Chains A and B, each alone.
Chain A
Amino acid sequence: MRDRTLWTWHVGAGMVILVLLGLHMAIMHLDATLGIFGTEGAEPVEWESVVARAQSLFFTVTYVLLLGAALYHGIYGLRNILFELNPGAGLRKAINVGLALVGVALFAFGTWAALAAPGAATMGGG
């Protein structure tokens, strides 16, 4: 695909990440001051809270969306850095294929982990 297209997706993914990762960070790490989506008394990383989020369709959908957007954004960013160092044509091809494979594999694995969680809001779970 043309680099201009890939770059536009990179910027777009960045905007998605800004919203979803901002929310993720606020929930997980600004819990003492904000307390959003907090379960009563449990820390955001405790199993009880993890299950409560997994049961919500919103979190299940946005986890997968954030996973895909962040993987694309991060891997395309890494590709940019590597390509800027002027690799030869063969190496460029290897970087393209290697990074794409790593990205797809991590996306598949992460999606499985998000959907297979006990009680996850999916057709198979629930």
Chain B
Amino acid sequence: MRRVAVIGAGVTKFGKHDRTSAELFAAAAADAITDAGIAPSAVQALYFGNVTGGETERQLHMGPLAATLLGLPTVPTTRFENACATSHAAFRHAVMEIASGVSDVVLVGGAERVLNVPTESATEFFAYCSDASIEQPAGLTFPGVFALIARAHMDKYGTTEEQMAHVAVKNHRHGVLNPKAQFQKEISLETVLKSAYVADPLKLFDCCPFTDGGAALVLASEDVARRHRRPIWVLGTHAATDTMFVHEKRDLSRVTATERAAQGAYRQAGKTPTDVDVVELHDCFTIAEIVATEGLGFFEPGTGGLAAEKGWTSLGGKLPVNPSGGLKAKGHPIGATGAAQIAEIVTQLRGEAGPRQVGGARTGLTHTLGGNTATVLVSLFGRD
């Protein structure tokens, strides 16, 4: 298999937009192509991610539309949908297209627009990513899924609501340093702890927001990337799936798909958790970050809450997690999130992250979780 590099990245401002998903992606893609310094005509394929466009915009077949609005209407496109892990899944397939020798330059990313519909509609559409036979009729929501996980983690390890709140406070502190973030405002521990319950024990400030935004990456083969001034190498990328049914998870305090995806990515990259300098991981809810830091092998099971409380995952800590502000503060346009996380790691490994730069970062990891923990992708990146 051929080596693959990320040579360009583009991300729109995250927040509320009056542009469509396809427009948001096209804007991010044009920025990524400019960043890569390639001619637009060099793009040989587009792997595009979007989740709720059929519901929020009455728009399917969005891949060709995105290519058309980008101004590359004849580029072959495929749309991906893997819930919140959508564009990370698209990324893995784009990597494989180049690694296999089919193409030399592939554009990949995604976009989402949900702030044009009421919150209760967005909550309904996101719940479509859980099972429609048992879970949706019972009224299970996404905060509900992670509340079940949080309760199990609290019961098993003694994790506290205050430890979860530390994740939110930290990611908001990081978000202040990211001009693309939806929220660039610090919050206090008290603000989190006094916010209203959405699904006990998760409160409003334990939850990431609904977000509009787009993100895109230009991937290239080694031959092309070597002519580029700053390639960031894909060291490993692995996908794992688990049962769709929450009741079939063997242990609700763990996300086994994260553990399997991480093991695969580390093995492919020839790296271990201690080699990682900077992480962008899927903090859709505060408990999700705690469980992910354990599943990725950074902290022992049951100590992710302590790591958040002690500041080990803060900028300046032993392993900075979500320097971008994470899904919590940067925002979570679900079709764009995986690509946006990779864009942040690319920026970090280039040493261009400004006030949120992790000093001397050489190896970065991204982790994206889809739906009710049924889909997880983990990728590792390195610089020359």
The finding on whether chains A and B are genuine partners in a shared complex, rather than unrelated, reads no
A residues lining the B interface (CB < 8 Å): none
B residues lining the A interface (CB < 8 Å): none
